[in-house]
Structure formats: structure tokens, C-alpha cells
């Protein structure tokens, strides 16, 4: 049997409990951030202090968001089953968040880089002409196609050969492709049939040594939209491998290399320099070493079809103009 409690005892206990709870509430810390005393006097002198604090917080939140998005993209790449094999062979890399041009509203509607036009001399040296155009653009003007041909020591030029040339001249670039090494599936293509058997070992060796030498090779497809953003940023030009017939069937009469086209409409590998973009017309400006015109524009759709044609591996050499100029100036 419990001992009965009187009403006065209950009221007295209630008052004591309320008193204890009141004291504990006064001792709790204020959860809102406090500004140090020295900062309070600063705010009186400088009303923009709170604005600076708010801006700093926004910048920190934005930086955190960039890291989160980058982590998500890395996870997506890691889960890509199609890229599992090449991931072990080539370095996966992306341009920094600044270079991705996330704020499209800040980009101009058009931008064109002044790239000196260079004509190729033979049917096989279009890639060398494109490398020479890139070298001239960043200030390397003491070289010729003949010099580049001597450095390559072959007339069967692959994109990886061009990558080694750019590296030799301290050009900063990124190499994108969807195939690491020579693709044996091209053995039935007329364009590759003659040279591919002897090129397989050489090209695969160059790829392996390129990774060891630190040449950045990104194994993924690049969209036309990405290229347009890089061009509009004013920081890049690109050397692209295209299907020459698909790209230039609209101006065949201007080609200066006799017999370059012929009647064969099969794949024909060809290199061009992408150096400008106009968002109003959705056209890229290119330098075609096989074309007599020094300035040529091609629709985004046409360039995309030519770049992603079977046989190109979607090869793209993205050249950083500012870093390449800085590197070459420091070497002088």
C-alpha cells in the first residue's frame, strides 16, 4: 500500500521542479553564432561586414557543391561497365570545374581564334599541317611540315603520333578517344587495310608509353556542345580526326590536292583544326589543310557526323592556348 501524498506537498514539489527547470534554461548556450567583441566594433565602422560574411558562406557552399558534383561524376564513371576495361589502361581525367564552363551565361555568343592556315603537301600529312597550325598559334614559328615529318619517321600518321609531337614542343593538351590503341576492327576498311597490320604493334606501344610519359588520355566520347563551350571560353582550339568525305562534300571543288577525293565515298581519315564557334548560326570555324580557303565554316551537325564516323575513334586533341604560350615563353 502506497503512502498518500498531501496536496501541499505536491504543490511544493511542483514549485521546486519549475525553479530547477528555469535555472537550467538560463544556463543553456545560445545556438546562434556570436560575433567576437572585436568584430562588433568593426561592424559599426564597416556596415558591409555582414555582407562579406554572407558572401564568404556562399562561396564555401558553392565550393562544397562543386566537390559533391565531382564525386558523383567519379562514381558514375566508376560504375560504367563499358569503360571498365579501358579504365585500367588509360588515365581517366576531366578538366577542372573552371574549365568546364558551368556558367553558360558568362560565355560570348561567338569566338574565333586567329589560327594561321597551313596547307598540307601530300595526302598523308594533314595531321602534321594541323600540328604546325597549332604551334604557330602559340608562338612556335621556327618549324615546318618537313621538320615534323622527320620527327615522326613514318607516313602512316595516327593521332597518338600527333600527341607525341605536341608534347615534344611543350604544348599543353588533352587527348580524347573512345579506343585505347589501334582498333583491329578497322582491318576490313579500305583506308586502313594496307597499313593496319604493320601499325598495330607500333601504335599500341606508343599508347602504352604515352600513359607512362604522362600524356593525358581520356577514354570517352566528346560532344559538340562540349567543344563549343571550350572554344567560346577563348582558352582552347582542337585538332579533330574526321571522315574527310562527310565533312567536305559541300566544297569538293576547292580541294587543292589532286585526286584527294576520287570516286570512293568510303571512310577517309583527315585532320582539321577547330578554332571558332558561332552560337547564332550553330557553326564551327575550322582550318582544313586540304582546302584552298583559309577560313571555312561547317555546321555543328556536319562536324559531329564527320567526327563520329566509323574509323575516327572520335579522336580529339584539345589544346590549351594560354598554358602552351606560357610554357613556350618560359623555355625561351
Residue 101: helix, strand or coil by DSSP?
Answer: coil
Q: What's the pLDDT at 292? A: 85
Q: What is the CA radius of gyration of the chain?
A: 31
Question: Quick one: pLDDT band at residue 332, thresholds 50, 70, 90?
Answer: very low
Q: Measured between alpha carbons, how far is 46 from 280 in angstroms, rounded to an integer?
A: 46
Question: Quick one: pLDDT band at residue 282, thresholds 50, 70, 90?
Answer: very high
Higher pLDDT, residue 214 or 94: 214
Q: Measured between alpha carbons, how far is 127 from 120 in angstroms, rounded to an integer?
A: 8
Higher pLDDT, residue 159 or 45: 159
Q: Report the pLDDT averaged over residues 297-324.
A: 94
Helices (H) and strands (E) in the chain, counts: 13, 8
284 phi, psi to nearest 5 deg? -100, 145
Least confident residue range of 143-147, 186-190, 260-264: 260-264
Q: Report the pLDDT averaged over residues 297-313.
A: 95
Q: Is the pLDDT of residue 255 over 90?
A: no
Q: Measured between alpha carbons, how far is 265 from 195 in angstroms, rounded to an integer?
A: 19
pLDDT digits (tens, 9 = 90+) for 158-183: 999 999 999 999 999 999 999 999 98
Q: Is the pLDDT of residue 107 over 50?
A: yes
Higher pLDDT, residue 21 or 107: 107
Whole-number Cα distances in Å, 328 to 82, 115, 233, 314: 38, 17, 21, 28
Question: Quick one: pLDDT band at residue 213, thresholds 50, 70, 90?
Answer: confident
Task: Report residue 267 as a C-alpha cell.
Answer: 571512310
Task: Report residue 156 as a C-alpha cell.
Answer: 602512316
Q: What's the pLDDT at 59? A: 52
Q: What's the pLDDT at 270? A: 97
Q: What's the pLDDT at 66? A: 46
Higher pLDDT, residue 45 or 272: 272
Q: Is the pLDDT of residue 18 over 90?
A: no
Closest CA to 226 of 310, 315, 318: 318
Q: Is the pLDDT of residue 283 over 60?
A: yes
Q: Is the pLDDT of residue 125 over 90?
A: yes
Q: Is the pLDDT of residue 195 over 90?
A: no
Q: Measured between alpha carbons, how far is 239 from 218 in angstroms, rounded to an integer?
A: 15
Question: Quick one: pLDDT band at residue 285, thresholds 50, 70, 90?
Answer: very high
Least confident residue range of 248-252, 269-273, 310-314: 248-252
Higher pLDDT, residue 258 or 156: 156
Taking a C-beta distance cutoff of 8 angstroms, is the pair 190, 266 a contact? yes
H-assigned helices in 153-195: 159-168, 190-193
Q: Report the pLDDT averaged over residues 10-35.
A: 55
Q: What's the pLDDT at 19? A: 64
**In terms of pTM, does the model score above 0.75?**
no
Assigned fold of 88-93+106-331:
Cathepsin B; Chain A (3.90.70)
Task: Report residue 222 as a C-alpha cell.
Answer: 566528346
DSSP 292-320: S-SSEEEEHHHHHHHHTSTTSTT-EEEEE
Q: Exposure pattern of 40-73 as b/e (b: 16+ CB <10 Å)?
A: eeeeeeeeeeeeeeeeeeeeeeeeeeeeeeeeee
Task: Report residue 45 as a C-alpha cell.
Answer: 565602422
Angle subtended at Cα 100 by Cα 98 and Cα 102, rounded to the nearest 5 degrees: 85
258 phi, psi to nearest 5 deg? -60, 135
Q: Is the pLDDT of residue 320 over 80?
A: yes
Q: What's the pLDDT at 9? A: 53
Question: Any idea where the domains of the chain sit in the sequence?
Answer: 43-79, 88-93+106-331
Q: Measured between alpha carbons, how far is 291 from 288 in angstroms, rounded to an integer?
A: 5
Q: Measured between alpha carbons, how far is 127 from 116 in angstroms, rounded to an integer?
A: 15
DSSP 136-153: HHTT--S--HHHHHHHH-
3-state helix, strand and coil shares in percent for the chain, rounded to the nearest 5: 50, 15, 35
Q: Measured between alpha carbons, how far is 273 from 237 in angstroms, rounded to an integer?
A: 7
Q: Is the pLDDT of residue 128 over 50?
A: yes
Q: Is the pLDDT of residue 227 over 70?
A: yes
Higher pLDDT, residue 254 or 168: 168
Whole-number Cα distances in Å, 203 to 33, 51, 77, 92, 199: 62, 58, 26, 20, 6
Amino acid at each position: 500500500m502506497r503512502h498518500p501524498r498531501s496536496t501541499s506537498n505536491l504543490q511544493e514539489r511542483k514549485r521546486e521542479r519549475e525553479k530547477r527547470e528555469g535555472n537550467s534554461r538560463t544556463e543553456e548556450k545560445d545556438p546562434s553564432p556570436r560575433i567576437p567583441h572585436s568584430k562588433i566594433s568593426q561592424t559599426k565602422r564597416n556596415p558591409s561586414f555582414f555582407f562579406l560574411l554572407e558572401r564568404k558562406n556562399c562561396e564555401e557552399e558553392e565550393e562544397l557543391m562543386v566537390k559533391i558534383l565531382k564525386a558523383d561524376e567519379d562514381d558514375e564513371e566508376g560504375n560504367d561497365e563499358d569503360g571498365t576495361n579501358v579504365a585500367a589502361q588509360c588515365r581517366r581525367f576531366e578538366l577542372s570545374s573552371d574549365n568546364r564552363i558551368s556558367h553558360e551565361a558568362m560565355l560570348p555568343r561567338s569566338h574565333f581564334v586567329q589560327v594561321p592556315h597551313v596547307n598540307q603537301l601530300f595526302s598523308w600529312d594533314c595531321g602534321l599541317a594541323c600540328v604546325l597550325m597549332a604551334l604557330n598559334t602559340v608562338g612556335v614559328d621556327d618549324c615546318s611540315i618537313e621538320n615534323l615529318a622527320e620527327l615522326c619517321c613514318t607516313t602512316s600518321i595516327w593521332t597518338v603520333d600527333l600527341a607525341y609531337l605536341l608534347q615534344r614542343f611543350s604544348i599543353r593538351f588533352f587527348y580524347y578517344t573512345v579506343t585505347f590503341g589501334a582498333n583491329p576492327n578497322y582491318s576490313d576498311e579500305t583506308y586502313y587495310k594496307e597499313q593496319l597490320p604493320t601499325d598495330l604493334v607500333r601504335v599500341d606501344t606508343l599508347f602504352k608509353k604515352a600513359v607512362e610519359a604522362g600524356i593525358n588520355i581520356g577514354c570517352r566520347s566528346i560532344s559538340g556542345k562540349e567543344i563549343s563551350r571550350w572554344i567560346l571560353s577563348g582558352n582552347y582550339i582542337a585538332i579533330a580526326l574526321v571522315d574527310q568525305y562527310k565533312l567536305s562534300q559541300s566544297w569538293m571543288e576547292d580541294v587543292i590536292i589532286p585526286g584527294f577525293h576520287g570516286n570512293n565515298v568510303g571512310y577517309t581519315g583527315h585532320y582539321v583544326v577547330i578554332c571558332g564557334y558561332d552560337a547564332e548560326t550553330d557553326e564551327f570555324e575550322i582550318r582544313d589543310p586540304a582546302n584552298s580557303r583559309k577560313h571555312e565554316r561547317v555546321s555543328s551537325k556536319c562536324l559531329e557526323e564527320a567526327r563520329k564516323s566509323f574509323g575516327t575513334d572520335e579522336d580529339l586533341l584539345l589544346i590549351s592556348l594560354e598554358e602552351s604560350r606560357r610554357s613556350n615563353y618560359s623555355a625561351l
